[in-house]
């Protein structure tokens, strides 16, 4: 990956903070906004980040820059 990817994570229990967050509220589509809210699971939280395909953010540039896994030594 030649470009860095930056995202934000919101906790579902922080309803008041989420409602006041200007970045989260700048996303007009409720379904797209919900992709930034983590899901509570038995052992913590889960946030799926989709860079390509169905469910990716509409502002994603992944259709212009292919995403390849980073190799570790």
DSSP state of 3: S
How far is residue 19's CA from residue 15's CA, in Å, rounded to a whole number?
6
Q: Given this model, what pLDDT does residue 11 score?
A: 95
pLDDT digit string, tens, across residues 2-57 = 678 778 889 999 999 999 999 899 988 888 888 899 999 999 999 988 777 776 65
Q: What is the pLDDT of residue 1?
A: 54
Under the banding of pLDDT at 50, 70 and 90, the label for residue 58 is low
Look up the pTM and report it: 0.63
Is 9 in contact with 44 (CB distance < 8 Å)? Answer: no
Question: Any idea which residue has 């934000």 for tokens?
Answer: 8
Asked if residue 71 has pLDDT above 60, the reply is no
């Amino acid at each position: 990956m030649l470009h860095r990817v930056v995202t934000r994570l919101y906790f579902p229990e922080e309803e008041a903070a989420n409602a006041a967050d200007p970045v989260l509220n700048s996303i007009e589509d409720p379904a797209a906004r919900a992709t930034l809210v983590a899901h509570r699971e038995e052992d913590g939280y889960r946030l799926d980040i989709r860079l390509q395909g169905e469910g990716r953010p509409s502002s994603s540039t992944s259709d212009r820059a292919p995403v390849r896994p980073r190799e570790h030594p």
